[in-house]
Amino acid sequence: MSISRKARTGALAAVAAVGLSLAAAVPASADVVEIPVSYGVAGTTTVQKTGSAIKLGPGSLDGALLIDDQTGSVGLRGDLSLPPAQADISLASGLLRIKAKVTVTPTAPVTGTIANGNITTHATANMEINDIWAGFVVPVVPVPTVPSSCKTTKPLDLTLSAQNVDITQPITVKGTYTIPDFKNCFIADLALGALVSGPNNTISLTLTPKTDS
């Protein structure tokens, strides 16, 4: 559930003050206070090997800020949801074109920390590719794949960060990641590995706080 920006800001200030005062008193046991947050998510990822950019979103990140009332530390936990994205790859100066549907499915909740105005988030996700078409100039030839099976051999490991953030304002987190090899893609296994798999792919996501209507 989202909360209004005004309510979120006031709640954060109040909880932070309580957390710091309790930390000074060094209580016998610590509790974690959860403040619900909800963000819209959109951005891009660029495949290093081809230089092609894929638009991501709009999706959502729904979860909570986790404030330790003993230490005052702030964490983040949330569920990320992104719709399938369209990949358009151009090779050989545009003579060979490939298009495909790319689905990124998280394998666990997003986690993160906020400290000294900086945020770092971590997520793992499977990358699935289907509905692949290829051709010269225009991608009109379907490439057979096994439905719902053509995916990375292991999850993507995504660590994204941003500095000097205000959690009540849009936050753009960035990072680099490796795309593993693919499996169960029928004849496309090797082709996808050659075209897509590898390190130094970039991703940028903007998290925009949702507000009550």
Helix intervals (H) in the chain: 5-25, 189-195
Cβ contacts of residue 28 below 8 Å, gap of 6+? none
Question: Which three-class secondary structure state does DSSP give residue 19?
Answer: helix
Residues 6+ apart with CB under 8 A from 95: 136, 137
Instruction: Say what the pLDDT of residue 30 is.
Output: 58
173 contacts 12 by C-beta, under 8 angstroms: no
* Residue 2 DSSP SS3: coil
In the three-class reduction of DSSP (H, G, I as helix; E, B as strand; rest coil), residue 41 is classed as: strand
Residue 28 has a pLDDT of 39
Determine the longest span between alpha carbons in the chain, in angstroms. 70
Query: pLDDT by residue (tens digit) across 15-62?
Result: 333 333 333 333 434 588 999 999 999 999 999 998 999 999 999 999
What is the identity of the amino acid at 101? K
User: Residue 121, SS3?
Assistant: strand
Name residues of the chain where pLDDT drops below 50.
1-29
By C-alpha distance, which of 145, 73, 64 is closest to 110?
Answer: 64
How many CB atoms are closer than 10 A to CB 128?
A: 21
